Structure 1
Amino acid sequence: MNKPIAVLGGGNGGHQMALDLTLRGFDVNFCEHPDFKESFKNTLDTKIIENTGLIEDKARIHEVTLDFKKAMKDVDIIYLVIPAIAHESFFDNMIPHLRDGQLVVIWAGDAGALRLAKKLREEAPRKRINIAETNTLPYGTRLLGPSKVDLFVKAKKMFFSTFPAKETEEMLGMVKETFPVLESIDNILSVSFSNPNPTVHPPGTLLNIGRIQWSKGDFYLYREGITEAPSRIIRMVYDETLAVAKAFGFRMREFEDEQFRNPCSVMCVDFWAPFDKGGIVANMKGPSSIYNRYITEDLPYGLVHRSQLGDLVNVPTPIIDSIINLGSGICESNFWKGRTLMDLGLDGMNREQIMEYLQMGC
């Protein structure tokens, strides 16, 4: 691969991806949104990122910038590595600089590919952009300080699809060189439904909310929070999600019963990591407050469209709906206004029309 790869988003995952790709011989244009220039300043000034954990190394990144145009110029592949809650802001900054034939991959998407496709139709209808997403990041990683990132788990399997799905195999061929563990799956909703975060994080967090507040952040979800009772609710969220997928007729990541009994539930299945109660992941502290992304991101961006799609095919989702309502009440926010079918351009369609749209793009 001769051209640089653009990595947009200067958080945990973005730093890790920019460094990982650089260490493996790829040139990276690493870009953060200007709103976050203060936290990005050290990386911007030095262009050096350091790894601890599973990899002990550091490297100088090819290009580090706050300029989307500069980062996206002369690249074929753009990796967007940000929380779903930041998609709108990044999309708005990306769209003016996208050019025909580029591939945008959203890590992890939460159906963000459909949202970007809708915005492109509305704001730049003449542009022909390839859009894809994955169900998870390739890593478990956290920034320890300026330009220093701790890598504690790596993915051994991730799912990938494009919008429209008819282009998946061609686009997968473009990105396999960078992430060989990517596997194709039916469509964007297959990918979104295969993201374990909305399945595990909201129920795991909400059912421990008193403990989280009482401890003032001294809480370890994967060590003490996912006991037998929360595991049952997590399994119910999964069962409802799977029922919606089957009613539509698309595949998603499926799990065995015993995989829900792990201290980290199904979060551990597709990652190389020790997920026992004394392992690395068990010692990850958090969430530390009710306004953590385990609720404010995974719930409105991961569960709302699952519920609405269930309504469309007459599949009840009472547990998912209860979690959305509880989270809304606890955070004093209407999470039903999260990622809706209207946001995704799916409103007004029936099952057959949605499946055709996902496959063909029209």
Structure 2
Amino acid sequence: MKIAILGGGHGCYAAAADLSEAGHEVRLWRRDAAALAPLIEAGSIRLKDAQGARDVSIALATANIGDAMRGAELILIPSPAIAQADIARAMAPHLVDGQVVFIPPGTFGSYVMAQIARESGSRADVAWAETGTLPYLARKHGEREVNVTIRAIHLPTGVYPARKEKEAIEVIRRAYPAVHGCGDALSGALMNAGPIIHPPLMVMNAAPLQHFERWDIHNEGTQPSVRAVTDRLDHERIAVRDAFGHAGPHYPLADHYNNDKWMYGDAHKQLVKSGDWREHIDLHTHRYIAEDTEMGLAFLASAARYAGVDAPIAQGILAIVGGFLGRDLRKGPRTFESLGLAGLSRDALKERLHEGR
């Protein structure tokens, strides 16, 4: 299958190498041509995982998004949510009928990017899909080198518009057999693990993060008190899913720590053992704040408000982060209010998510 991968982060390089090794024709686009130069020159990505290290050839690495997207059946965007608006505008002129766009994870990006692409002039009949996490726990170790600690074994995926769910899931599963449908885009967004695991870790590790040059929030930063807050926040997420009528499995985050039933299986020990997450984290700029809190957690809190679900942990963490950022995160760009959804009736919202706009 011809696959376009849009972005230059950890997940993008991991996907480009992994899917190329699986036999797909992969074109990787990155807007920063200078940063892409080592990959273009070598023609390959150095992939490291449990099987060892090897160079994997990539069909095309380019700073021209049209060249990357041309003829692609699947367009994969494993980039942070903060980049989605720019990517949607860049890709809009090149979208064609029948393509499937897969955003892991999405932060409701399947809905948002579809609106931006349309506002940018695209009338292509496209299916947009999102899941709850990246297909990989991965970190780049060099300009063209990526280490994959573990691969996802379950990827619950929502589709916008939901009427295209069957065809979209069939296409994505050819690249990622771990994908399974979980309903509409809202259901997919409410599977997002980042806004559950990262905001409590950031808030409750704020002092050591600012004191030490490097700190592993998943190792010594994950203590029983932190876990208790994370579990309660996840209970709020599941309560919101229930309130919207989304069926299980809900993939409770406790399974990430306690057993092998979560999206990555029994991943926490491997994540800590890798050492890749002992890093410098800026409390004002890191994507755990800019993406998972300002966008993802604010989205969850707004969905709770819409559904009438009490979510004190979500609202409290938003208030604390808003305190050190100096702004009200309840008015963020990914809230029901900002997206114009808060005024819709339940039936109108369901229809829009199913039929598209």
- Normalising by structure 1, report the TM-score: 0.90
Pairwise CA distance, 1:347: 3.9
Q: 1:50 to 1:234 in 2, by over 3 A?
A: same
User: Structure 2 CA distance, aligned partners of 1:300 and 1:136?
Assistant: 17
1:223 corresponds to which of 219, 223, 227 = 219
Aligned match of 2:29? 31
Aligned match of 2:202? 205
Query: Residue 81 of structure 1 aligns to a residue in which SS?
Result: coil
Greater mean alpha carbon deviation, residues 122-131 or residues 321-330: 122-131
Aligned match of 1:358? 353
1:77 corresponds to which of 68, 74, 77 = 74
Aligned match of 1:244? 240
Alignment of 1:51 onto 2:55: no
Pairwise CA distance, 1:111: 0.6
Partners of 2:306 and 2:336 within 8 A in 1? no
Pairwise CA distance, 1:227: 1.2
Q: 1:281 to 1:251 in 2, by over 3 A?
A: farther
Q: Deviations over 1:68-104 (max 9, x none)?
A: 1111112221111211011111111101111122111
Identity of aligned residues (%): 26
Partners of 1:19 and 1:61 within 8 A in 2? yes
Mapping 1:94-105, distance limit 5 Å = 94-105=91-102
Mapping 1:319-338, distance limit 5 Å = 319-336=313-330, 337-338=332-333
Alignment of 1:67 onto 2:61: no
The gaps in structure 2 that reach 5 residues or longer are: none
Greater mean alpha carbon deviation, residues 237-246 or residues 326-335: 326-335
Partners of 1:304 and 1:340 within 8 A in 2? yes
Aligned match of 1:349? 344
Pairwise CA distance, 1:115: 0.2
1:284 corresponds to which of 257, 277, 280 = 277
Aligned match of 2:109? 112
Query: CA RMSD, aligned part only?
Result: 2.3
Pairwise CA distance, 1:18: 0.7
Aligned match of 1:146? 143
Q: 1:121 to 1:347 in 2, by over 3 A?
A: farther
Aligned letter for 2:28? F
Q: 1:46 to 1:258 in 2, by over 3 A?
A: closer
Alignment of 1:181 onto 2:175: no
User: Structure 1 CA distance, aligned partners of 2:314 and 2:242?
Assistant: 17
Query: Residue 280 of structure 1 aligns to a residue in which SS?
Result: helix
User: Structure 2 CA distance, aligned partners of 1:125 and 1:230?
Assistant: 44
Aligned letter for 1:321? Q
Aligned match of 1:317? 311
Aligned match of 1:7? 5
Aligned letter for 1:350? S
Query: Residue 244 of structure 1 aligns to a residue in which SS?
Result: helix
Pairwise CA distance, 1:283: 6.0
Q: 1:64 to 1:283 in 2, by over 3 A?
A: closer
User: Structure 1 CA distance, aligned partners of 2:319 and 2:217?
Assistant: 21
Query: Number of paired residues?
Result: 354
Aligned letter for 2:346? R
The gaps in structure 1 that reach 5 residues or longer are: none
Pairwise CA distance, 1:240: 1.5
